[in-house]
Amino acid sequence: MDPLQERDLRHIWHPCSQMKDYEELPPIVVDHARGLYLYDTNGKEYIDIISSWWCNLLGHCNPEINEAIKAQLDKLEHVIFANFSHEPAIELCERLAAIVPPGLSKFNFADNGSSSVESALKMSFQYHYQTGKPEKKRFMALSEAYHGETLGALSTGGTDIFSKIYKPLLLDVLRVEGPDCYRCSYGKTRESCGTQCFEKAEALMEKHAGETAAFIVEPLVQCAAGMRIYPAEYLQKLRAACDRYGIHLIVDEIATGFGRTGKLFACDHAGISPDIMCISKSLTGGYLPMAITVTTEKIYNAFYADYAQGRAFMHSHTYSGNPLAASAAIAVLKILERDRVLDRAAETAVYLHGELAKVFADHPHVGEIRHIGLINALELVKDRDTKEAFDGAQRTGYQIYKAALKEGLLLRPLEDVLYFNPPMTITKSEIDRSVTLFKNIILAFPFSA
């Protein structure tokens, strides 16, 4: 262990980590980064194929985003956002209003994804409360959902590793068995799918519509669940059912937004608009913490009244609408548009999937290579035919993660799901390098069946 690693471990409690693991794998101290690459303090290079937790959108230290932040820094670093404003936030909202799904036009800022989910849940409840339906105070969500770590957001999540221990503290959320297309309980394949599994959501909505404020969902990809990808038709059915039952549709685009799925927002694949949408992560290109809860005039208007009526949304975060983050976000939107980043990424996405399929399509331990946009996920299984998973205690994904780090590839799997979720700007030669490294790591890995 080098001195910086020792100093780190003396004080730092890293996120989402069993700190004891760091005895064997101490923290990698990053000195600088550029594009797809991270460089540690010893000069070792790492390919950041997971966009540093799915947020780095246009490469690290993009010169234009850097410039935008530096220019803003010398003008205004931060200001209270209640009753005060600034041009970067105004311009950002104007630009976003033109590209978010139709009908969304009001923007409420937070500084991280979980907080924007909290805001969405409170907003939905308060809307119903103030429009004569105070009994609508429960939320519906999918199994294996992930919406963040604060208690409200965690309540809507359905992944035991994050939430189980906190059950006594959590809201009583109505849970719908979500679409699991790799292990479809209706025996369908992706090709023969008719989203029959939506009947489970429909049944629960019919039964509990009267007490339900909103249904929150990750559109098309349940990322933390292992990049589980489900059809757009499911979202369309959900939108229609939410309308029928008077339930808000909250779409959590925190991970999927800004082109990750091949369209600007995953909702765009389904051609639907939610009542409330949460965005964060790639919003600032992965530079600075910012999140926005975006909603409709209709919801906004239910809060608009004389002060004495007490209908205001009394929700705030100190760093709401931070100007530095807003200037980064504007730079991101300019680059996306000017460089036609999504169009170019559509081509590289085809290439990336093709290269991964060439190497892994017949691998005995790769159950499926699911993909959308540049996201490609390999689900490792003990047995391809039965889809039986590896024993969790073996921590197969984690062992591969460690092996890959040695070789300079940052994978960070979700249990036994290994995935690429690279920046939109990854080039074909960078894909070649990454896939070759990845291939060598997997082919050398001693899978114990």
Ligand X SMILES: *Cc1c(COP(=O)(O)O)cnc(C)c1O
- Binding footprint of ligand X on the chain (CB under 6 A): 112-114, 117, 146-148, 218, 223, 252, 254-255, 280-281
For ligand X, the closer of residues 111 and 275 by Cβ is 111
Q: Is 385 annotated as a binding residue?
A: no
Name the token pair of 62: 């993009």
For ligand X, the closer of residues 163 and 280 by Cβ is 280
User: Which one, of 350, 21, 291, 11, lies nearest residue 148 by Cα?
Assistant: 291
| Smallest separation (angstroms) from ligand X to the CB of 291 | 6
User: What is the bridge-based pairing of β-strands 138-142 and 174-176?
Assistant: parallel
Q: Is 281 annotated as a binding residue?
A: yes
Q: Is 195 annotated as a binding residue?
A: no
| Smallest separation (angstroms) from ligand X to the CB of 223 | 5
Q: Which residues contact 176 (CB under 8 A, 6 or more apart)?
A: 140, 141, 142, 143, 200, 201, 204
For ligand X, the closer of residues 254 and 272 by Cβ is 254
Q: Do the Cβ atoms of 107 and 96 come closer than 8 Å?
A: yes
| Smallest separation (angstroms) from ligand X to the CB of 278 | 7
| Smallest separation (angstroms) from ligand X to the CB of 332 | 16
For ligand X, the closer of residues 218 and 379 by Cβ is 218
For ligand X, the closer of residues 117 and 359 by Cβ is 117
Q: Is 316 annotated as a binding residue?
A: yes
| Smallest separation (angstroms) from ligand X to the CB of 295 | 17
Q: How far is CA 371 from the centre of its chain?
A: 15
- Tell me if residue 442 falls in helix, strand or coil: helix
| Smallest separation (angstroms) from ligand X to the CB of 157 | 8
For ligand X, the closer of residues 372 and 431 by Cβ is 372
- Tell me if residue 70 falls in helix, strand or coil: helix
Q: Which residues contact 322 (CB under 8 A, 6 or more apart)?
A: 78, 111, 288, 289, 290
User: How far, in Å, CA of 256 to CA of 311, rounded?
Assistant: 32
Q: Which residue is nearest to ligand X (CB)?
A: 113
| Smallest separation (angstroms) from ligand X to the CB of 304 | 28
Q: Do the Cβ atoms of 151 and 166 come closer than 8 Å?
A: yes
| Smallest separation (angstroms) from ligand X to the CB of 154 | 10
Q: Is 114 annotated as a binding residue?
A: yes
For ligand X, the closer of residues 266 and 302 by Cβ is 266
Q: What are phi and psi of 46, to 5 degrees?
A: -130, 135
Determine the residue type at 175: R
Euclidean distance between the first and the last CA atom of the chain, given in angstroms as a whole number: 33
| Smallest separation (angstroms) from ligand X to the CB of 250 | 11
Name the token pair of 301: 């208007």
For ligand X, the closer of residues 224 and 441 by Cβ is 224
Q: What are phi and psi of 27, to 5 degrees?
A: -60, 140
Q: Is 53 annotated as a binding residue?
A: yes
By CB atoms closer than 10 A (0-12, 13-18, 19+), residue 187 is exposed
Chain position carrying tokens 């929700």: 315
For ligand X, the closer of residues 72 and 119 by Cβ is 119
Q: Where are the alpha helices (DSSP H) in 51-163?
A: 51-54, 63-73, 87-97, 113-130, 151-156, 160-163
Q: Is 334 annotated as a binding residue?
A: no
Q: Do the Cβ atoms of 89 and 329 come closer than 8 Å?
A: no
Q: Is 163 annotated as a binding residue?
A: no
3-state helix, strand, coil in the chain (%, to 5): 40, 15, 40
Rounded alpha-carbon distances, angstroms, from residue 408 to 54, 317, 419, 438: 18, 38, 15, 10
Residues marked as binding for substrate?
Answer: 53, 146, 281, 316, 412
Residues marked as binding for pyridoxal 5'-phosphate?
Answer: 113-114, 252, 317-318
Residues marked as binding?
Answer: 53, 113-114, 146, 252, 281, 316-318, 412
